[in-house]
Amino acid sequence: MNIAVCIKQVPDTEGHIDVDRRSGSITSPNLVINPLDVLAVEEAVRIKGQLVDVRVTVVCMGPDIAERALRGALSMGADEAVHVWDEQLVGSDSYVAGRVLATAIGPEQYDLILCGQMAADTQAGQVGAVIAEILEIPLITAVVSIDLNLQSGRMEMQRKVDGGKREVVQTSLPAVLTVESGINKPRYPTLRAIKDAEKKQIEKLNLKALDMSPNEVGATGSLIKVVSVSVAKPSIKNLFVPDSNLLAIDRINILMSGGISDKKAEMILGGLQEAASYFVQFVKERKLL
């Protein structure tokens, strides 16, 4: 079985992020593999460990720095990596990204294609669907469990639906699966695996290698245009403000306590019998039982 995993390098949402209003993109000094894509890599490596003759290839579209993401996936256990980039790809939307990745993957080369459900920066959730449409193969979204007991070339899985429920689905292969949080817990690569990943060759593909025209990609080929992006503003009405008539030290104490200093509390003195009697009387008076 050949498995392709599509990954993306995104800003680390756990750290500081900025908004580039001109380009309509989110920027950050720290870049990481999209968290849901990490789960997709982990799931592919787990399948590789449980079935015979499985090869995992990770594919990433992005500038030169995206090589770090590919080597990170290699250190998790992927066998090969493909880096797709061309300066003409700047400004591409999710539709173009899906077309480019589908072209890089190619028809009938892989039995299974895994993607994260959505990227942490755009949260569009479109790339997997575009890949499936271009390659004309089934698409299963929000996958949270995969059954590796293949029957007659079909794979069974569970997908997340509304209300916390699960839907059991079967599909023929090849197919595209987009994985959701909860499908697994990704491993931490060993130092040896990280060093080995640094030595592996990464295949490079540009538009010429993909036989794609500059008019098909970038802002020209994109179907979606970001009109504006802004940082969310906090809701002032939900912020607790202490009474301005209090002393400064009292206001500080209230803020440090989370604004709950006005809550009444009583200390029960005496032994266990006294405390139990007080509690029973407290419950009766307030008709809690």
- The residue ranges of every structural domain in the chain are 2-221, 236-285
What is the per-residue pLDDT for 228?
77
Burial class of residue 234 in the structure, from the number of CB atoms within 10 Å of its CB (0-12 exposed, 13-18 middle, 19+ buried): exposed
Give the range with max mean pLDDT: 9-18, 21-30, 216-225, 250-259: 216-225
What is the value of pTM for the model shown?
0.78
Q: Is the pLDDT of residue 236 over 70?
A: no
| Rounded Cα gap, residues 144 and 101, in angstroms | 23
In this structure, of 13-17, 58-62, 147-151, 172-176, the range with the lowest mean pLDDT score is 13-17
Chain center to CA of 14 = 12
* Top-tier CATH class for 2-221: alpha beta
Q: Residue 35: which H helix or E strand, with range?
A: helix 35-50
Lookup: tokens for 225: 């245009």
Peptide bond connecting 35 to the previous residue in cis, omega within 30 degrees of 0:
no
DSSP states along 216-283: GSHHHH-S-------PPPP-GGGS----TTS-HHHHHHHHHTTS-TTS---PPPS-HHHHHHHHHHHH
